[in-house]
Structure 1
């Protein structure tokens, strides 16, 4: 079975969502289905069909999360040797050598990635180009606009 890297925070977020789905959403949807059934003819009962659709989405998400948690390889950055190398879970600041623009990213698992809050997937082109580098190294990263060269400004194990 293939394992998928995940930070402890990512695992905790999935467990929290799973708990919400199982203990709050599932019972609410079940109650909505029961109430809609009481209204009679199910063929023309929009509330019933909407609740059944919600139930399908909820059950699908529960299965998806359980699968992800079962295949998760939780990597705690605090338990790794801090030798300054860019690895999964670090926060890295890079500077575009052409524009001198700086960006800070945290390298996380696929399910945790959210570019809006500067969390990038370990499988993204930027992360793949940075993994294994050290502070002060240059990294050439292929982007849709072409190859861009960055300097690693800092590597933080937080």
Structure 2
């Protein structure tokens, strides 16, 4: 069984989603199905089919969450340190063309969220950063062409 690396915060977030899907969403969907069933003919009952589809989606996500949580390899970032970039590091980069500063935390695939500044360890940028140190420059092939970044800070938070 392949382990899935994640932070303790990522593990907790997945656990919360699982709990909500099991204790809130599942009973609500079952109630919708029962209500739609009471309306009679199921063959032309759009409400019933929509509720069954929602149930299928919810149960699939529950199974996926249970699998990821069972395979979780929780990495405690508070115990990490040093100036070499690895899983869990929060890295400040400066785009060498635009001078624009960005901050990314390298996390597991299941908790990656670009809007929240978290990139997957499997992403091209994270792969380019792993093993580098503050002051280094990395080049990443982005959809719009190659981008060069200077690493200005490595933190563990």
Aligned to 2:110, what secondary structure does the other structure show? coil
Q: Does residue 71 of structure 1 match 2:36?
A: no
- Normalised by the length of structure 1, the TM-score is 0.93
1:135 aligned residue: 134
Separation of aligned partners in 2, 1:13 and 1:28: 21
Q: For residue 67 of structure 1, give the secondary structure of its aligned residue in structure 2.
A: helix
1:56 maps to 56
1:145 Cα offset (Å) = 3.0
**In the TM superposition, what is the alpha-carbon distance from 1:149 to its structure 2 partner?**
2.2
Q: Where does residue 116 of structure 1 map in the other structure?
A: 115
State the alpha-carbon separation in 1 of the partners of residues 36 and 147 from structure 2. Answer: 57
Q: TM-score, normalised by structure 2?
A: 0.93
Give, in whole Å, the separation in 2 of the partners of 1:150 and 1:41. 62
User: Residue 2 of structure 1 aligns to a residue in which SS?
Assistant: coil
Distance in 2, matches of 1:98 and 1:35, equals: 59
Alignment of 1:2-17 (within 5 A): 2-17=2-17
Counterpart CA distance in 2 for 1:153 and 1:144 is 23
Match of 2:28 in 1: 28
Q: Which residue of 2 aligns with 1:96?
A: 95
Structure 2 unaligned spans of 5+: none
Structure 1 residue 99 displacement after superposition: 2.5
Query: 3-state SS of the aligned residue for 1:58?
Result: helix
